[in-house]
Amino acid sequence: MAIMKRKEEVAGLRLLLADQQVGVLTHYSGGKNILVFSPDYVTLPKAHRHTLTLTQLLNEGYLSKPLICAQRLPPVLSNLLPEGALRAWLTFQLKVHDEDEFPLLVHTRHNLPGGLTAEAIPAGQVPIWALDHREQVEAVQVEVDPSAQHSFSLAGVQMKFSASRQAHGGFNIGLDANGAKLFLTNNESWIIKTPSVIHKHVPLNEYTAMRLAQAAGIVIPEIMLVDLTQLTNLPDIPLPQESQAYAIKRFDRQNGQRVHTEDFAQVFQLYSRDKYGKHNYEQIADALYHYSPQGLKDIQQMARRLLINILLANGDAHLKNWSVIYQDRANPLLSPAYDIVFTSPYVANEQEVALNMAKNKNWYQMSMASFETWAKRTGIPWPAVRVHLKDTLEAARDNWPTMLNDLPMVESQKVLLRAHWQRLHSDFRISTIL
């Protein structure tokens, strides 16, 4: 006697990287989300297959199995969605639960970070290979909820918005110059971070930290401070009595094209809640060194950034604040730096970087010996790293004390930063005497 299967409604999204269908994400009314990679994508020769995630390079079998989750999406997709205040704002707008991620992906499907896009699959057109992984359920195909219109999605905790920079210099919030609404225009795609009602003067802090980092040899995108009056279509959100937002040009949008990127929470298949504790800086370095076609160059830049995070007391360089970029659609390179902030003014008694390095987090205990251990644990030639650390230190010591005077960070935070420089190990200490 045939066993009657339980019927469950299912909606589907087709996932694309440029011209290649990567797979199909199905969402069942019972809460299951299943990502199945397209057979055509899986069987493509590696030389012709766009890379979705470095994980598929680390693990040969990654593409062969469906990724099944309840309520949340698989980490490779979940990490495309925002956290914190921006997530709360989106879930309120959509009237969905914080853990119910499929509607969030539907809502943001045309302007996800990186190169991935998602297209709604009409009812009846979800391919069989995407449905045959729930043997006890009869799938009843339905349309993707039409009320979930496309919008921007930017991973992170701060309130931030995708924007198009206009010819007159202003910014139009919610429009992506390389996305669905303004595709093939000459406008530029930027990210706008508005002032926080919780932490004071974050735009000024981040702009200053990024400029200091750049002066010490860190590769960053174009950045600027923008008067709030220059922002068009800014959503009705609470704002403090501060006049400027922080703007950073998107490196995942170039010359009218999406450029694929992913952060290391995606690489390591972790949810954002695990971005601080599950991995360390040696593991990030190991992945870059062995899988980037310019591995040593990327490690040298990573070493500079690690040192900068110590010098700038940035305790937030977690897995989601390290990313790779696929300029050729296949091979991962270390992306430009972003989210470098002097975090100590916002965290009482903070003394630690975000992840372990050489089994230590305390930036007042770190020295050149810490970096030597980090390099040796990853199999990196120490002399090739040391020369870049010395160059970073020399640039910081020569330029920062004078630069800081003229940068817009508020004076109370400048006092704290100068005091931090004096407490560092003698290897890294920066004199404030001009």
Quick one: tokens of 349?
A: 């008694």
In terms of Cβ atoms closer than 10 Å to its own Cβ (0-12, 13-18, 19+), residue 339 is: buried
Cα separation values, 76 from 54, 79, 95, 264, Å: 10, 6, 24, 10
**267 touches 53 (CB < 8 A):** yes
Q: Rounded distance, CA 96 to CA 31, Å?
A: 13
**Token digits of residue 13:** 């999204």
User: Do residues 152 and 111 lie in contact, with contact meaning Cβ atoms separated by under 8 Å?
Assistant: yes
* Identity at 316, one-letter amino acid code: D
Closest among 1, 47, 56 to 23, alpha carbons compared:
56
Exposed, middle or buried by CB within 10 Å (0-12, 13-18, 19+), for 212?
buried
Say how far apart CA 322 and CA 318 lie, in whole Å.
7
The count of other CB atoms within 10 Å of the CB of residue 65 is 11
Three-state secondary structure call for residue 73: coil
Beta-carbon contacts of 65 under 8 Å, excluding residues fewer than 6 positions away, are none
CA proximity to 115, closest of 322, 282, 332, 288: 332
Is residue 374 within 8 A of residue 358, CB to CB? The reply is: yes
CA dihedral 280, 282, 284, 289 (to 10 degrees): 180
Which of 176, 252, 286, 316 is the catalytic position?
316
Contact 388, 217 (CB under 8 A): yes
Calculate Rg over the CA atoms of the chain. Answer: 23
Verify whether residue 252 is a known catalytic residue: no
Q: How many residues does the chain have?
A: 434
Residue 244: in which H helix or E strand, if any?
Answer: strand 244-249
CB atoms within 10 A of CB 348: 6
**Catalytic (active-site) positions:** 316
